[in-house]
């Protein structure tokens, strides 16, 4: 199948976004999410969201380091799926954990730093998701890149939210924090140029062999 051979990475990206939701729905319907299924669903959607957002954030460095344009082609899909799961994460919290009690949610925001940081990150992702299309990129021109620089703040804040929230999985949260830090460093112009030059030298060496 020629189409699949050229678009396998897109298929994987969409599967990574859709499959966890399908599994979550099946487990919830089958009563396999534990004693408090809504809380389990809230935590899982948050974890999936972070994984997809970090994967999207890694696409640009991966393209520069590996010279693989396919990484750029799936960046938007991974980011939008990550945003979708973040929205579900917040919705489940508001519906089941707080029963849409605004006073309780406001108290959580004021008393729990993880909650406030997570909400700030989600708010920052909203304009990124709304303007992620090629049409918006054309309409905004150079301002599009300026707006989408918010990703450099939104993703680290998401990792920080996870780090402060997941006391039982500190090792996993720490891995995400280190990974996001490394991805930020790889975007620094000197380091990015060094990576591109190293890739070019490696490609030249392989061609001479």
Per-residue pLDDT, averaged over 13-20, amounts to 97
Whether the predicted pLDDT of 186 surpasses 60: yes
Summarised one tens digit per residue, pLDDT across range 167-184 is 767 888 899 999 999 999
DSSP 71: H
> pLDDT at position 166, please?
72
DSSP codes of every residue in the chain: -HHHHHHHHHHHHHHHHHHHHHHHHHHHHTT-S-SSHHHHHHHHHHHHHHHHHHHHHHHHHHHHHH--THHHHHHHHHHHHHHHHHHHHHHHIIIIISTT-HHHHHHHHHH-HHHHHHHHHHHHHHHHHHT-SHHHHHHHTHHHHHHHTTHHHHHHHHHHHHHHH-GGGHHHHHHHHHHHHHHHHTTSHHHHHHHHHHHHHHHHHHHH-
pLDDT of 195 reads: 74
Domain segments of the chain: what residues? Answer: 2-200
Share of the chain above pLDDT 70, in %: 95
pLDDT of residue 202: 66
**SS3 breakdown of the chain: % helix, strand, coil, rounded to 5?**
85, 0, 15
Query: Residue 205's pLDDT band (boundaries 50, 70, 90)?
Result: low
Does the pTM of the predicted model rise above 0.95?
no
Tell me the average pLDDT across 79-85: 98
């Amino acid at each position: 199948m020629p189409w699949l051979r050229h678009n396998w990475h897109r298929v994987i990206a969409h599967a990574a976004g859709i499959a966890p939701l399908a599994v979550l729905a099946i487990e919830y319907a089958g009563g396999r999410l534990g004693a408090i299924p809504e809380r389990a669903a809230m935590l899982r959607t948050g974890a999936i969201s972070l994984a997809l957002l970090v994967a999207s954030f890694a696409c640009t460095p991966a393209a520069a380091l590996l010279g693989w344009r396919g990484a750029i082609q799936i960046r938007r899909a991974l980011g939008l799926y990550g945003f979708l799961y973040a929205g579900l994460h917040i919705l489940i919290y508001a519906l089941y954990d707080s029963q849409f009690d605004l006073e309780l949610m406001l108290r959580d925001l004021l008393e729990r730093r993880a909650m406030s940081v997570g909400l700030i990150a989600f708010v920052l992702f909203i304009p990124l998701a709304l303007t992620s299309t090629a049409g918006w990129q054309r309409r905004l021109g150079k301002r599009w890149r300026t707006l989408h620089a918010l990703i450099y703040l939104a993703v680290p804040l998401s990792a920080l939210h996870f780090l402060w929230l997941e006391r039982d999985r500190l090792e996993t949260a720490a891995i995400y924090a280190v990974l996001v830090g490394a991805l930020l460093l790889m975007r620094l112009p000197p380091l990015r140029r060094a990576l591109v030059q190293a890739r070019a030298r490696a490609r030249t060496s392989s061609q001479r062999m």
